[in-house]
Amino acid sequence: MKRKGLIILLLSLSVLLSAQSDALQTLLQHPQTRSANMSVYVRNTRTGEVIDAYREQNVVPPASVIKLLTTATALEMLGSDYRFPTTLEYSGYIKDRVLYGNLYIKGKGDPSLGNLREGQGFLRQWVKAVKDVGIEAIEGQVVADLSFFDGNALNPAWLWEDAGNYYAPGIFALSYMDNTMNIVLESGPVGSVAKVLYTQPQVQGITFDNHIRCTQTEEDGAYVSGVPFHFYRHLTGSVPSNRGTFGVKGDLPNPGLLLAQHFTQSLRQAGVTVSDEASYISEAILIPRTTVYTHWSDSLAAIVAHTNMHSVNLYAESLYRVLAERIGVPCTLHNSEMMVRSFWCGRGVDLSTAIIKDGCGLAPQDAMSARTFVSLLDYMQHSRTYDAFFASLPVSGKSGTLRSFLYGTPLEGRVHAKSGTIGGTKNYAGYICLPNGDMWTFAVLVNSASGKTKNVQHLIEKYLLNLYRSQQ
């Protein structure tokens, strides 16, 4: 019986190995990936043929590839033409062109207000809207209303060392200027502490515990630490010495409050007096309000394109939290996860083994399989929002985070995919357009490989090229 069992095991192993391409065997046997935790799945979407597979149902940390799930869910639930509203509302009453009450900025999750592309020009329209309803003075204050999201602005599943850096900002119902500030430093002699000069934008009340050393290094190794709502930031690491001024990006402690301050300033400059300084609320206050104006964001298709093309964590996490509105307000992380799971249940995308802690991939606990990603990609091909989804993906050798991926190879311009990179992880998932008109959906997830992630990228490039050539 033991001999028979061994024969069956060997036959099963033989079948498994024969189902894997030579290209995949090369990837699996490379010293850098031999001990890695991997999940690989490649399928022809027209024929349904499985081109390659290795532990395709094994869940691994997806890093930013999870943004495919977040953006696909948002497009499917909200529609590619959806636009985020931000409303100006007032409490109290207007008499003799004076508002006796507060002017509120009510955020509903738009991550794009005041970003680098849009700028602060919209504030002029907001001022005009206030004047158009006959307000020339405000006996009260401008208040940023953050109550659409709960007060958990920092995802508890994220690493503490990430909090405060530009790529892990607080997530608020009212975002502004990408929730990011630039801390301008002056580099000095080797061994000295870099001097903090100012921030862009200027942030009232911000203080720094600065330990950034000037060293002989040629690279910027400075880090920002801090938590939302608190105006204290700890600066550590090193920067090149004697380089003059340069910037280090960190998060804004309270972007909604900064927006309220800037709006107050714009009103005063336009001749509308405001008696009190700006403030914010994070919990709903049940008092009657009148809507003055609604600001609409760009389309969801455009926001998703920016999210996936440049792998913007703020945008992905904001989209993820907005999904929870279907369950109830304030939007919570728990309800966001429940909404994502319930939406895909019965739609052929199995999330039963997936671990979902956020919408952007910063949480190290996140885990999904290559098969799940391929199922999602296959589903989206038949979706009404497919055009927006497909257009949002970086193109190999051409755009976004795939600009250097497969550049100068036969697959340049043929791979439309999302990449993911985080401590020991290098992942790709998307579509490969073949010369004969066929399309492959694929996911190659490599976790805990040894060596530099750039080298892992080259191994994945080699794998895809070898697989592509073997099918020609």
Inter-axis angle of helices 67-78 and 300-310, nearest 10: 180
**Contact call for residues 105 and 295 (beta carbons, < 8 A):** no
Q: Identify the pLDDT of residue 200.
A: 97
Residues 393, 282 share a domain? no
Residues 382, 417 share a domain? yes
Question: Which residue carries 């050393």 as its tokens?
Answer: 213
* pLDDT classification of 343: cutoffs 50, 70, 90: very high
Note if the pTM is more than 0.85: yes
* pLDDT classification of 424: cutoffs 50, 70, 90: confident
Residue 14 has pLDDT above 90, yes or no: no
**Contact call for residues 103 and 64 (beta carbons, < 8 A):** no
Residue 328 has pLDDT above 70, yes or no: yes
User: Does some domain include residue 2?
Assistant: no
**What CATH number is associated with residue 284?**
3.50.80.20
Which of residues 264, 297, 330 is at a domain's end?
A: 297
Residues 145, 45 share a domain? no
Q: Could you tell me the residue range of the domain that residue 183 belongs to? A: 177-251
**Contact call for residues 263 and 113 (beta carbons, < 8 A):** no
List, for residues 401-417, the tens digit of each pLDDT value.
999 999 999 999 999 99
Residue 313 has pLDDT above 60, yes or no: yes
Cα 463 from Cα 472, distance rounded (Å)? 15
Return phi, psi of residue 225, to 5°: -125, 140
List, for residues 184-205, the tens digit of each pLDDT value.
999 999 999 999 999 999 999 9
Cα 239 from Cα 245, distance rounded (Å)? 11
**Contact call for residues 89 and 148 (beta carbons, < 8 A):** no
Q: Identify the pLDDT of residue 19.
A: 58
**Alpha carbon separation from 275 to 59, 103, 104, 136 (Å, rounded):** 56, 12, 15, 12
Share of the chain above pLDDT 70, in %: 96
Mean pLDDT of 126-145: 98
Which of residues 191, 220, 251 is at a domain's end?
A: 251
Residues 311, 395 share a domain? yes
Q: Which pair of structure tokens corresponds to residue 453?
A: 């992630």
Mean pLDDT of 312-326: 98
User: Does some domain include residue 8?
Assistant: no
Residues 318, 282 share a domain? no
- Mean per-residue pLDDT of the chain: 94
Which of residues 297, 324, 359 is at a domain's end?
A: 297
Residues 438, 345 share a domain? yes
**What CATH number is associated with residue 345?**
3.40.710.10
Long-range contacts for 27-36 (Cβ within 8 Å, ≥24 apart)?
27/459, 27/460, 27/462, 27/463, 28/54, 30/459, 31/450, 32/449, 32/450, 32/451, 32/455, 32/456, 32/459, 33/446, 33/449, 33/456, 33/459, 35/448, 35/450, 36/446, 36/447, 36/448, 36/449, 36/450
Residue 63 has pLDDT above 50, yes or no: yes
Mean pLDDT of 61-85: 98
User: Does some domain include residue 328?
Assistant: yes
Q: Identify the pLDDT of residue 423.
A: 78
Residue 6 has pLDDT above 50, yes or no: no
Return phi, psi of residue 422, to 5°: -160, 140
Residue 13 has pLDDT above 50, yes or no: no
User: Does some domain include residue 15?
Assistant: no
Residues 189, 41 share a domain? no
Domain count for the chain: 3
**Contact call for residues 331 and 148 (beta carbons, < 8 A):** yes
Comparing CA positions, the residue from 27, 61, 60, 34 lying closest to residue 450 is 34
User: Does some domain include residue 189?
Assistant: yes
**Alpha carbon separation from 158 to 170, 297, 364 (Å, rounded):** 11, 28, 7
Question: Which residue carries 């049940």 as its tokens?
Answer: 286
Residue 15 has pLDDT above 70, yes or no: no
* pLDDT classification of 471: cutoffs 50, 70, 90: confident
Residues 464, 386 share a domain? yes
Residues 332, 198 share a domain? no
Return phi, psi of residue 22, to 5°: -60, -35
* pLDDT classification of 305: cutoffs 50, 70, 90: very high
User: Does some domain include residue 156?
Assistant: no
Q: 358 versus 5: which is more confidently predicted?
A: 358
Cα 362 from Cα 336, distance rounded (Å)? 16
User: Does some domain include residue 310?
Assistant: yes
Mean pLDDT of 63-72: 98
Question: Which residue carries 């799930």 as its tokens?
Answer: 69
Mean pLDDT of 250-278: 98
Q: Which of 91-95, 110-114, 125-129, 449-453 has the lowest mean pLDDT?
A: 449-453
Residues 126, 273 share a domain? yes
Mean pLDDT of 378-402: 98
Residues 465, 431 share a domain? yes
Mean pLDDT of 224-235: 97
Cα 206 from Cα 341, distance rounded (Å)? 40
Residues 240, 186 share a domain? yes
User: Does some domain include residue 378?
Assistant: yes
**Contact call for residues 240 and 215 (beta carbons, < 8 A):** yes
